């Protein structure tokens, strides 16, 4: 595989779909919020994204090989349909971010998608019982409209920059004529692996934005289940990254297994 590839088993016909994206990041808020929505809404998997820019290892999960990937799901809504995207991994390579973002947007365009919401975390360094949800837009005319959903727009002064795919996805969406919004759940930051409270805050906003109901009763329980996989994944990636920076052949690739 030379370029990032999206392999879709079926190409669903979707009604004016909005795509909600939760990739790994601080507090894994995007990943667990979107992952929970997928479970509760029983959204259907229809495509996988693989990338040469992901780490070159596989995990053994549930007794079989698991290749790092991003996964697309769809959900048939009342007025509009939804696409969900969650991922195992962000790339370690700056170029990879651009390639992956380009492939995702191209694929979403082919599905008729005109709006993208990416979910992430915003590390404040302090614990908040009622975490805010900050919004960042690609066109500031939309701030007023979005403010009614309980989103805070003081991001400009507080945030300054969004590193990784979440920001690029929304930014490049606009260039293709797709609306882009970033939602950032306020979280304490390191070293929390998953922050269910911030994820809940984001889910409450998403319910309003998307006009859907998600039963939040099982959130904490489900997050615990996801946490194991995420923790394992993060540990392995950290080890892999350390090996890769050393770049010793006969060691790098081989330390564990191979």
Tell which positions 205-244 bind a second copy, by CB under 8 A.
Answer: 232, 234, 236-238, 240-244
Write the CB contacts of 222 (distance below 8 Å, at least 6 apart in sequence). Answer: 35, 36, 39
Going by the DSSP 8-state scheme, the letter that residue 123 receives in this structure is: E
Give dist(CA 114, CA 55) in Å, integer: 31
Helix H or strand E encompassing 36? helix 29-41
Footprint on residues 40-99 left by a second copy (CB under 8 A): 50-67, 89-99
Burial 2-28 (b: 16+ CB within 10 A, else e): eebebeeeeebebeebbbbbbbbbbbb
Is 256 a binder of a second copy (CB under 8 A)? Answer: yes
Residue with tokens 């306020």: 186
Candidates 17, 25, 35, 131; binder of a second copy (CB under 8 A) is 25
- Calpha distance 176→27 (Å, rounded): 30
**Which residue shows structure tokens 């990937």?**
69
Pick between residue 18 and residue 136 the one whose CB is nearest to a second copy.
136
Residue 155 touches a second copy, criterion: CB under 8 A: yes
Please identify, among the stretches 35-43, 150-158, 195-203, 213-221, the one whose residues bind a second copy according to the rule CB under 8 A: 150-158
For the chain, first and last CA: distance in Å?
19
From 33-41, 108-116, 201-209, 250-258, span contacting a second copy (CB under 8 A): 250-258
Interface size with a second copy, residues (CB under 8 A): 95
Least distance to a second copy, CB of residue 150, Å:
18
Per-residue tokens: 224: 């615990």
Contact predicate 126/177, CB 8 Å: no
Find the binder of a second copy among 161, 177, 213, 221 (CB under 8 A): 161
36 binds a second copy (CB under 8 A): no
Nearest residue (CB) to a second copy, 13 versus 154: 154
Task: List the interface residues with a second copy, window 97-116 (CB under 8 A).
Answer: 97-99, 101-102
Instruction: Please give the residues from 112 up to 141 whose contact with a second copy meets the rule CB under 8 A.
Output: 120-123, 136-140
- Toward a second copy, which CB reaches closer, 40 or 237? 237
- For the bound state, the minimum distance from the C-beta of residue 53 to a second copy, rounded and expressed in Å, comes to 7
């Amino acid at each position: 595989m030379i370029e990032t590839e999206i392999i879709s088993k079926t190409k669903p016909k979707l009604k004016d779909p909005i795509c909600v994206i939760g990739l790994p990041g601080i507090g894994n808020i995007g990943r667990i919020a979107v992952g929970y929505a997928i479970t509760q809404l029983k959204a259907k998997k229809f495509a996988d994204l693989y990338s040469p820019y992901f780490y070159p290892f596989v995990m053994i999960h549930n007794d079989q090989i698991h290749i790092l990937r991003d996964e697309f799901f769809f959900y048939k809504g009342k007025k509009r349909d939804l696409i969900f995207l969650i991922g195992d991994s962000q790339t370690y390579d700056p170029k990879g971010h651009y390639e992956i973002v380009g492939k995702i947007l191209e694929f979403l365009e082919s599905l008729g998608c005109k709006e993208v919401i990416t979910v992430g975390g915003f590390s404040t360094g302090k614990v908040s019982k009622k975490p805010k949800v900050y919004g960042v837009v690609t066109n500031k005319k939309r701030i007023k409209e979005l403010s009614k959903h309980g989103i805070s727009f003081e991001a400009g002064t507080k945030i300054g920059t969004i590193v990784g795919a979440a920001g690029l996805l929304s930014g490049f969406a606009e260039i293709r004529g797709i609306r882009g919004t970033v939602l950032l759940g306020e979280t304490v930051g390191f070293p929390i692996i998953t922050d269910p409270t911030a994820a809940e805050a984001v889910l409450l906003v998403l319910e309003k934005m998307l006009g859907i109901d998600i039963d939040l009763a099982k959130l904490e329980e489900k997050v615990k289940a996801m946490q194991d996989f995420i923790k394992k994944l993060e540990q392995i990636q950290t080890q892999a990254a350390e090996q890769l920076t050393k770049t010793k052949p006969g060691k790098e690739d081989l330390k564990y297994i191979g």
